[in-house]
Structure 1
Amino acid sequence: MPSMSRRPFLQFALGAATLPLASLGARAETMARPITMIVPFAAGGPTDVLARIVAEYMRNAVGHPVIIENVTGASGTVAGLRASRAAPDGTTITIGHWGTHCLNGAIYQLQYDVREFAPIALIASGPQLIIGRPDLPAKNLKELIAWLKTNGDKATAGTAGPGSGAHVAGVFFQQLTATDFSFVPYRGAGPALNDLMAGHIDIMFDQASNSLPQVKSGTVKSFAVTASSRLASAPDIPTVDEAGLPGLYIAYWHGIWAPKGTPADIVSVLSKAVMAALAEPAVRQRFAELGQEIPPPDKQGPAALRDHQTAEIEKWWPIVKSANIKAD
């Protein structure tokens, strides 16, 4: 990305940082160009959908479009490298999640540090669903675990690739249940879900936002949601605690970051813009429909995202490393 002076944005940031959000649009006229939000996955996927919803409403605060740039490849690490090398002037930000800004740091030999991005906001958290092919004999999670224990030599779980969230969740499930089954890697969650519906694989650990439509239509079977409370958009699916596997909490939380070195005043303005978007009723409704829970305002800001990311790294890196999960 060509280097640009951050002066125009900084002029905006210095003026806007002390103003109410209603005044941000006018001040944004001094910005040099629209903001680019790097999305580490293809258009139409769960992360891309969330990014576009937030970007649409961020423009109300900054007065310019927030342009989505899909940069795919290697479970989000290509986008991570691009974002890490962008000018720290507030004109480039990136959205990521549990996989890109936690797991990847333990799985890949990265040319950047997932912990060194400047946190802007924690925007949402959505659990996974434990799902199975529609004709799987098990009727509930306990029966699924029993079935896996007697069919481990042939049972298969689809993933979005080695080291993906679905893969790591499956390894965690194996550790908690003393089960053993084979992982089948795909190029993404979409193809894996298609094969699950067709009965070519047995189970998946998938983002609720991705598989809820199939669960509701009956083309896959659901066993539990990996959270301590039921989804408002799918209240009939039991939690792992209710289903007999307490503690299997896995959430695809999403956050927004800026490149390392982005000045604090610019981060503050961007954070306020994101939080303004999250307060919009239309955004909250859309996120709820996707099985995403927006944290309360005091848990959305830069410090909250940094603390959450740190806690997740402390939890998941030992699990990944003990299982020797590596990218192909």
Structure 2
Amino acid sequence: MLRGLCAALRGHLIVLCAVVGCGAWIAPGHAQPFPSRPITLIVPFAAGGPTDTLARILSERIAAELRTTVVVENVAGASGSIAGARVARATPDGTTITIGHWGTHVLNGAIFKLPYDVVADFEPVAMIAMGTQLIVGRKSLEANSLKEMIAWLKGNPGKATAGTAGAGTGAHVAGVFFKDKTGTDFQFVPYRGAGPAMIDLVAGQIDIMFDQASNSLPHVKSGAIKAFAVTSPTRLASAPDVPTVDEAGLPGLYISYWHGIWAPKNTPKDIVTKLNAAIVAVLAEPAVKHRFAELGQEIPLPAQQTPAALAAFQKAETEKWWPIVKAADIKPE
């Protein structure tokens, strides 16, 4: 009888172990902790540009926070819309995210016929930086102030060249508004990003740019290019010698170039929360704050770094800029 009881117990234990074993084998597929794989951070422009610079500053620190690898991948072209389509179609598991800005996640929706929606097809993760533009020119340009630059443009109608990161980008839109406000005329030269455009400006191959401060400041400080004005009502702490557009004689030409991080639509809320927490922690680091400040970038307050805050800000910017862009009839070149 004892022998039979032991045999029966052994049978139950075998069945129990089999069930537990199967459960242990199945569970990881359903509840693997995030991140279980490397994260790809898509940059919608060429390497070396302002958006790429911010992405690379953040990526290493985000990787440390999440204890994973973050790979920065540059997917340039069509003013950032090729990258936008790539991320919009990506599996919404948090392993593909993108950095974007006023151009990629507001202006593109008003200018291009896109295979995705700049608002509806993404999950906002965090606002990371608020920046501005500089109006800059090649070192040899025959002007040393914004008024002189405008006079030079009027004296050479249709001949001057302005580099942009592509049709419909912030640099292009800013240039269109500058033309309208000053009565000047010049040609736009599109590049695959602000980085390549800046290379040609430094080399004297193009004349001017309406460029993100983070891209221009190092070259302004080195004396490689001239800065005529900053497109904000206050001077940059990192470039106090550069006048505002109001001071330089072109009042009201304000353009804010903000950056954020997005994931594909339907990325689980807990993953978005974890990504946001890592980014917020990185933005609080003194070294990151210092580096951003050097590039003319202001880190938003913690209350503005939430996914909800980025969603609300993007919505407000869309409502502000879409009517302006459409009224100006800005088209892809």
Q: TM-score, normalised by structure 1?
A: 0.86
Shift of residue 257, structure 1, vs aligned partner: 0.6
Task: Select which of 109, 113, 116 maps to 2:117.
Answer: 113
- The aligned amino acid for 2:46 is A
Shift, 1:6, TM fit: 8.2
2:128 pairs, out of 107, 123, 135, with: 123
| 1:199-278 alignment runs, 5 A limit | 199-278=204-283
Aligned to 1:312: 317
Report the CA distance shift for 1:83/1:133 in structure 2 as closer, same or farther (over 3 A). Answer: same
1:65-84 equivalences under 5 Å are 65-84=69-88
Q: Distance in 1 between matches of 2:110 and 2:268?
A: 28
Letter in 2 for 1:78: I
Cα distance in 2 for residues equivalent to 1:224 and 1:65: 39
**Residues 1:38 and 2:61 are matched in the alignment:** no
Post-superposition shift, 1:78? Answer: 1.4
**Do structure 1's residue 279 and structure 2's residue 302 form an aligned pair?**
no
For structure 1, which segment, 212-221 or 272-281, has the greater mean C-alpha deviation from structure 2 after superposition?
212-221
Q: Which of 192, 204, 215 is residue 197 of structure 2 equivalent to? A: 192
Go from structure 1 to structure 2 and tell me whether the alpha carbon gap of 1:100 and 1:150 turns closer, same or farther (over 3 Å shift): same
Q: Secondary structure at the match of 1:327?
A: coil
% identical equivalent positions: 69
Deviation at 1:195, TM superposition (A): 3.4
d(CA) in 2 for partners of 1:267 and 1:260? 11
- CA shift, 1:98, in A, is 1.4
Q: Give the conservation status (yes or no) of the 8 Å contact 1:172–1:319.
A: no
Counterpart Cα distance in 1 of 2:29 and 2:98:
17
Distance 1:190 1:175 in 2: 26
CA distance in 1, matches of 2:116, 2:29: 22
Q: Of the candidates 55, 58, 61, which is equivalent to residue 54 of structure 1?
A: 58
Aligned to 1:183: 188
- Over aligned residue pairs, what C-alpha RMSD do you find? 2.1
Mapping of 1:140-159 within 5 angstroms? 140-159=145-164
* 2:73 alignment partner AA: E
Q: Give the corresponding residue for 1:132.
A: 137
Which letter does structure 2 place at the counterpart of 1:259? P
Residue 52 of structure 1 deviates from its aligned partner by 1.9
Q: How many Å separate the matches in 1 of 2:29 and 2:118?
A: 23
> Unmatched 5+ residue regions in structure 1?
13-27
**Matched position secondary structure for 1:304:** helix
Is contact 1:6-1:90 (8 Å) kept?
no
- The one-letter code sitting in structure 2 at the alignment partner of 1:112 is Y
Q: Is the 8 A contact 1:6 1:89 kept in 2?
A: no
Stretches of structure 2 lacking an aligned partner (at least 5 in a row) = 1-27
Aligned length: 305
Which digits, 9 at most, give the CA deviation of each residue in 1:146-171, with x for residues without a partner?
A: 33334324333222222222111101
The structure-2 alpha-carbon separation of the partners of 1:190 and 1:91, relative to structure 1 and needing over 3 Å to count, comes to closer
Q: String of CA shifts for 1:298-328, please: whole Å, max 9, x gaps.
A: 1111122112212222222223223332224
8 A Cα contact 2:112 2:332, kept in partner: yes
Q: What amino acid is the match of 1:75?
A: S
